[in-house]
Structure 1
Amino acid sequence: MKINKNLHSMALASSALVLLLILVSSTVSAATEQTASLKINKTQITTSGSAAFPSIYGDRIVWEDWRNGNRDDGPFNIYMYNISTHKETQITTSESAVSPVIYGNRIVWLDGRNGNIQNDTEGGHDVYMYDLSTHKETRITSSTIPADGFGYDLGIAISGNRILWGGTYHYCIYDISTQKETQVDDVPIINPAFFGNIIVGVSDIDGRPSNLTMYDLSTHKETQITNSGSAFSPDIDNNIIVWADERREDEVYHSEIYMYDLSTKKETQITNSRSIFYYSPAISKDRIVWEDYNNGNIYMYNLSTQEETHTNNTSVRGGFDFYGDKIVWTDWGNENEKPNVYMGTLTSSNLPTAAFSASPTSGKAPMKVQFIDKSTGTPKKWKWSFGDGTTSTKQNPTHKYSKAGVYTVKLTVTNAAGSNTVTKTNYITVAAKPAAAFSASPTSGKTPLTVKFTDTSAGTPIKWKWDFGDGTTSTKQNPTHKYSKAGKYTVTLTVTNAAGSNTVTKSNYITVTAKPVAAFSASPTSGKAPLDVKFTDKSTGSTTKWKWDFGDGTISTKQNPTHKYSKAGKYTVALTVTNSAGINTVTKSNYITVTRTSQAPVADFWGWPLSGKAPLKVTFTETSKGSPTSWKWDFGDGKSSIEKSPVHTYSAAGTYTVKLTATNAAGSSTKTKWNYIKVAK
């Protein structure tokens, strides 16, 4: 996977090396182009006119989009399209997210939401990740990367559990599983590709064609892959590195595509045109795809069949990303004004095209289904996956579905040129006893609360019975119900079809609140200063916020605070409680009585040792009476302490008078011991 450096400030101007893929297509369905021996099915993914820099993994495409803004100032957010479900999802709302990359269930991108002038990060970025399996967004970088934080430019990539970002000989690796960030400095790599433990890129500091250098994260070892001095635009997948290599023959510049196998340490030249400028090779599984700058062609090389195919006069502008047999790119439209993301499926014309039908496609369990192969291209092998864990290699199998469910069926057909797969999502429906499920909105609020209930049951129920928990029921599929009294309500739904019935119960699902009633107690309510008082909230009505006023100028928002009264007096305490329905306050006048301490303390102390050579460490022990609360020591050598029983070191010879002042709420007293400590040289 190549590192993504499509920051909007630079990438929109980077269309010098462009490649056009002229294809006739519609927004909804794919159009087919066949030229030379490569067939491309092109589908328009976006219609916003503001989508660019796509990345693809599996059946998901992500891109950067500045809809409702402009390509210079944004706002910029990340969007995703699921090829299987045909659903578009907005991933970010920060309005400063750029350069997305997807790997598995994880999307990573650069985000400028935290940059500011105060910490010299204005225009800087952080690395963020979104996990599609948990729907959780995570900030990866602990501090914002300044705009000039990586000399050449800042890029980002992800492979497995690792995220890579950086540039100009300085990179950071973040391990998602251990949450550990590792710096990789002084590695002579620019514009790298990243897979597993391997980072590979050109070694020229300005990113010009040079030699390829590989860095192994597991061994921390650098290895020079090429020695031509003219390699550029590398990519890597599993053990295979591919790149373009510049040549000049008879005053004609051209470039060829090369491959290096890490397992065999063998370099292989893929092309030998001697006249065409090839560039931007990408590899996914057993296929290598690259671009032809001279004629605007896309080439594909199949490592398994060693077959090279290409299209003629195509128009993919602004680079591409590649996974499996799918390529995604930005079509900038007329004069780069309204870009959209497109996807093409690359298929050699010699490959078979998988297709099938089935009958019946729905019914009760157990259900026997006849599958009919309708593939073209003379396939020789068939592999069916019926979606219930079973498979078949027959051309036209019959399969029995024993359990209720919705099944996705997949057929892979193969001939001498390769394989092709077709997947029909949720193709077979086997009915059984329904499974009750529902949602509601809102699920909480103040009286009276009107709630809309929505049936989400599976299994095609034909009857519904709702119990709202307040003594009322309904037989509608999606009823609306009004709760008139405060309380927590348990809701039950029973659904029925010809196969049976099923019930789901959600305990305490609906919370209806009324205005709270404030109440509290305290212990103790009287005593001598300083007095610690524990306050206990006894309010009713599902309180969510508390505000205490202790009458001495201090407040608290805890539910059950403890407060110290330091001065004598009578204190009025007020508690204000809040929930979604409103606010209520209770005040208890002169509730806390604090009396003064009866007498001032009598200061006293002793120290040990009282004499010795310098430096002399003396431990002083306070023995005052009358419960002092603070102490001040004068050691006679210009030093002092406020500890209760300090340890002091006398550094110079001399005779020292020691003084202790002890204080409580009633007053203070001082004890002086003249010529108490004697320190000899």
Structure 2
Amino acid sequence: MSSSAAVADGVVFIGNMDGTLYAFSEETGDLLWNHAFTPSQYDEHRILSSPAVAGGVVYVNTYGGGLYALDASTGAVLWNYRAEGENGAYSSPAVADGVVYVGSGYTNKKLYAVDALTGDLLWDFTTGGSVSSSPAVANGVVFFGSNDNTTYALDATTGDLLWNFTTGGRVISSPAVANGVVYFGSYDNTTYALDASTGALIWSYATGGRVTSSPAVANGIVYFGSSDGNVYALGTLPLDPPAAAFTSDVTSGNAPLEVIFSDTSTGVVTTRSWDFGDGTMAWANETVTVSHTYLFPGTFTVSLTAGNIDGQDTEMKTGYIQVNPMGSPPRAWFTASPMMGSGPLTVSFTDRSMGTPAAWQWDFGDGNTSSERNPAHTYATTGKYTPTLTVFNAGGRSSYSSFVWVSGGTVVPTVTPTQTVSPKPTVPLGKPPISFFSVSKSFGLAPTTVQFTDWSFNSPTSWHWDFGDGNTSVLRNPSNTFVNPGTYPVSLTVTNAYGESTSSRRVFVR
């Protein structure tokens, strides 16, 4: 017995080399009926192929090349089709959309398409060898292999050739089709994966022997056997996203405070992104522990995003780290030169803070910032700006603000014989906007979608976003999908009748 069983509606159907098709109860194994086919001249091994069941009819191809349709309930023959001279058939039938597809023996070298209801031949396609491979039908295309070393794709309705792919050996392996890919084996010791639409080779895998078995595909894994004695599984098993969790050795202390964080996530973790809440973030993919030192006092929210190829999860602990001041806080102060002038105006800022600050954060009042001690900044548009310096040390922080006035220039006087008009400065009637925005997330695995929210000041009337990946938007609150890994500088430029302002942030995609 070389036939594989087919099971439908509680009945097991299987063919035997004695030329008989059997039907057994799936539940008890009792014989329900059997049908013995009449032997022909070369029919000593009658049924080598496997039956197919569809619509209450069981279809079976005999070694002598006879295709039969029997009532699945009674075993009564409904019709049979046999091409003249047909013999030596191994192909199992496939049924789709009212058509039975089956390969020929070594005489006619064809694939047949037969009406499933009447048994009439609809079309046939001639290859260069016998068709022992059993056809597969998907998306209106029938796929099969031939002993002429070739796998074919035909229009299932007309039988027209769509494409073919030639290997280095006979193809008796029956193809499997999944997710737009055709998989099959060859006598050249290789399993192939082809694009189902074009027949283009996607990949191939060489074994130590002929691949005559038919592949099976499940959950992205291709399974097949080889005559080298091995069963192969190719692909990557799907993973559940991890459940993120973390702990730390301490949660409070005096500044500067060193904290060792430990990833206690469950599941397979291949990427780790830490946000320590003080403006510092880190990727630590290779280790479950990471050390971070909080230089300045404050209460900090810490989060860990743990991920793998199939997803990610984030745990956030609000107010998790409490850093106490140690010593006296600094006292912020700075000078700016010049403090007024025509735009564009470049201003040099000089830190004159007291109390030995260890870090500086400048906000120039136009959406731009700096962490240098003594930066220079150019104001491009007219307006009155309020630059602010915040300084930090282990004892705390302190802020100081000043102003910068950027005018539109001097009005040229108009002179007449009777009147001289003195120049007057142009005074802006309103305020230019100050660009500011937030993001739904700063880290993610490609592809990742980020929502951007405008929080700009002084009533901007237009918005221009540059997402750093070639995409832009003029919406106020857009979203963008970053397809590829990378670090993307995202900028927002806002304008109104009195000027414009630009601010930027980075999005990290792994």
Which TM-score bucket, shorter chain as reference?
A: 0.3 to 0.5
Tell me the TM-score normalised to structure 2 length. Answer: 0.38
TM-score (norm 1): 0.30
Q: Which has the higher contact order (CA 8 A, sep 6+)?
A: 1
- The structure whose residues are more often strand, as a share, is 1
